[in-house]
Structure 1
Amino acid sequence: MDDSQSTDITSNPSLAPMSSIRAIAAGLSLIAVARTMSAAAGSSEGPGLCLAGVGASCSGSPPRLIRLTAVPGYEPHRVNDMLLLSPAGAHSRCSSDTEAAEDGNRHVVFFPGDIQNFQHEMSLQPEGAQWQCWSLERVALILGRRFPGRHVWVVRASRMYLHKFSCYHNFVESNLFGAPEHSPDYGALRHLRALLRHGMEQAGLLPPASPSFPPPGFSLALVGFSKGCVVLNQMVYELAGARTDPELAPFLRSVTDMYWLDGGHPGGSETWVTDRRALQELAASGAALHAHVTPYEVRDPMRAWVGREHRRFVRTLEELGARLVNTLHFEDEPASIDNHFRVIQEF
């Protein structure tokens, strides 16, 4: 969610989620699940939350949602809380060694937007409670259905200013409100690589102190929503240097897809990457690129630069021969925060 709009959203009850959001929650049977999550949200111990009735496998083994606290990253001061949704049967005794290895190799990482936090913490904040349909736990389950058979990682922003402005300063230089200042060597890719390695070790998906990372056959899809797109943008600026790095190059080759979902932040520019040299590196990466937007971001007359930058992003990548799919959702509906969030379910 774009910070320039956050005050209006959180202070005006008329902008509360519509019935469609409630329908999404009901359709995914998440209300009862969320209560269980809320009760356990303060703990990262134990085998994780078992989500009964959600995609059980051959032995009745459901997906597992695990909260990992303060996962170490690239440097000692860079830590992030994460959620991991493991697919049904990934840890089941009925899985063969080959199946278990395949389950452990396919991953999706999601970077959420403003307001989005753990269910329990959102319920305690008057401005966050009305948006609980899009808590980190609920989004993890939505993504689990969108990417069946993959491990879904949700990376919590390392700072939430005033409980609503997400700041990804572990990935990109940012001000209090999360507006980024991009550079070619901040270390976003190194940080993500370290987070995944340590997270997989903690979750039992990777042996401790593995000699190399990523493991053979590892694949990764990156998804940013709203403010979370600043992380993907920073990674694009780092591609040129990372491609020649002996540690990062194999990690980059594992990235199969990148999804930008209705990117937005409070700065007056660089909502979308428009630097041609950076986009040349992105096109040359061979990853499948996906831009999913709504009128809320790209047709807002008060922030006309967002739409201009998006068009330039798409046009330049098409000129460079990138594997790009660009989709405008809810084109014939009025721009709304409801539809802004709904792109998480529709993409």
Structure 2
Amino acid sequence: MIERLSDAQNIARILVSKLGPSVNAWVVESSTFNGPFAVYKEFIPSVNSRGEPKCYDPSGFPASTFTALLLSKCFEEAKKLITGRQHEASPSTMHFTASTSSSCQPKTIILGFSKGGTVLNQLLSELAHSTLQPTGTLLHFRKQVVRDSPKIQEGNEIFPMSKDSLLNSISDFHYVDVGLNSVGAYLTEQNVIKKIAEWSSHGTAGIHFTLHGTPRQWCDSNRPWIRNEKDRLLQLLQDEASRSGGKLLVCERFYFANCPPNLQMHFEIIENLDMS
């Protein structure tokens, strides 16, 4: 069970099954491991050797910049792979099919699983300190067939191509059973949450937070700070949501509530995620 739900391709399939076949699902793993510890050093420069963040510093916007670069590089590799196969099959009818937005940019849903929640926190910090004006654009998918050599056209994006377009496209943040062996699993800075709420209030679509958890993290007596940080973030979000006029939404979902904590439920939550 754990091996299957640790596989990036399986996770992508699960996300597509929950969000719909028109969604482009990207599963980003840590490039560095120190023993069992994932270290997201490209996204959060202030992490220690075990991948624990010293702080969430928006300077230089590392998480949004690196994410946009990573998506762009992956998409270029995918184009080469797909067009190469099509050329081998039938050079005269080569084409590339992709889901694109009918608006100028897609909607982005960010999920942070386990220690991946630290990247989500960094993105929140960067969004709070950005100077962007929210577009509030919702995503409507259509199919586009590009003949011969596919190119990404400005104003008709399949995915965010820059840090600004990435931050401006985020509509949902999902904390998925996040936790650390140190403090910092959840972002609890009031000024950051306040700025996020102010940012969302200027858009037409707003922003949605969902905190998903299991007893594995939220009921761990050896790491009580995880539950305390979760409760603090939830309260901050609820306070701002009450003043947002419906532009900031937040909900909490607890899975396997009547089961004793174990490692398997930490992964099983991926299959059981309620994304509604």
Calculate the TM-score normalised by the size of structure 2: 0.70
Is it true that 1:281 corresponds to 2:195 in the alignment? yes
Distance 1:313 1:159 in 2: 28
The letter for the 1-side match of 2:234 is V
SS of the residue corresponding to residue 218 of structure 1 reads coil
Q: Which residue of 2 aligns with 1:185?
A: 59
Q: Which residue of 2 aligns with 1:174?
A: 47
Is it true that 1:340 corresponds to 2:254 in the alignment? no
Higher relative contact order (CA 8 A, sep 6+): 2
Compute the displacement of 1:176 (Å): 1.9
SS of the residue corresponding to residue 152 of structure 1 reads coil
Please tell me whether the aligned partners of residues 114 and 179 of structure 2 are also in contact (alpha carbons under 8 angstroms): yes
Structural mapping, 1:70-109, within 5 Å: none
Q: Which residue of 1 aligns with 2:225?
A: 305
What is the CA RMSD across the aligned residues, in angstroms?
2.2
Calculate the TM-score normalised by the size of structure 1: 0.56
Identity of aligned residues (%): 26
Compute the displacement of 1:245 (Å): 9.1
SS of the residue corresponding to residue 223 of structure 2 reads helix
Compute the displacement of 1:180 (Å): 1.2
Please tell me whether the aligned partners of residues 236 and 281 of structure 1 are also in contact (alpha carbons under 8 angstroms): no
The letter for the 2-side match of 1:298 is W
Q: Which residue of 1 aligns with 2:74?
A: 199
Is it true that 1:131 corresponds to 2:12 in the alignment? no
Please tell me whether the aligned partners of residues 258 and 290 of structure 1 are also in contact (alpha carbons under 8 angstroms): yes
In the TM superposition, structure 1's runs of 4+ consecutive aligned residues that sit over 6 Å from their partners are: none
**Unaligned segments of structure 1, at least 5 residues:** 1-20, 22-129, 206-214
Distance 1:175 1:132 in 2: 29
Please tell me whether the aligned partners of residues 225 and 261 of structure 1 are also in contact (alpha carbons under 8 angstroms): yes
Distance 1:169 1:245 in 2: 28
Structural mapping, 1:198-347, within 5 Å: 198-204=73-79, 216-244=104-132, 248-267=163-182, 269-283=183-197, 284-285=199-200, 286-321=206-241, 322-347=248-273
Please tell me whether the aligned partners of residues 188 and 235 of structure 1 are also in contact (alpha carbons under 8 angstroms): yes
**Unaligned segments of structure 2, at least 5 residues:** 81-102, 135-161, 201-205, 242-247
Distance 1:193 1:137 in 2: 20
Pairs aligned (count): 208
What are the Cα deviations for residues 300-336 of structure 1, in whole angstroms up to 9, with x where unaligned?
1111111011001001100001311211111111111
Compute the displacement of 1:240 (Å): 2.8
What are the Cα deviations for residues 53-106 of structure 1, in whole angstroms up to 9, with x where unaligned?
xxxxxxxxxxxxxxxxxxxxxxxxxxxxxxxxxxxxxxxxxxxxxxxxxxxxxx
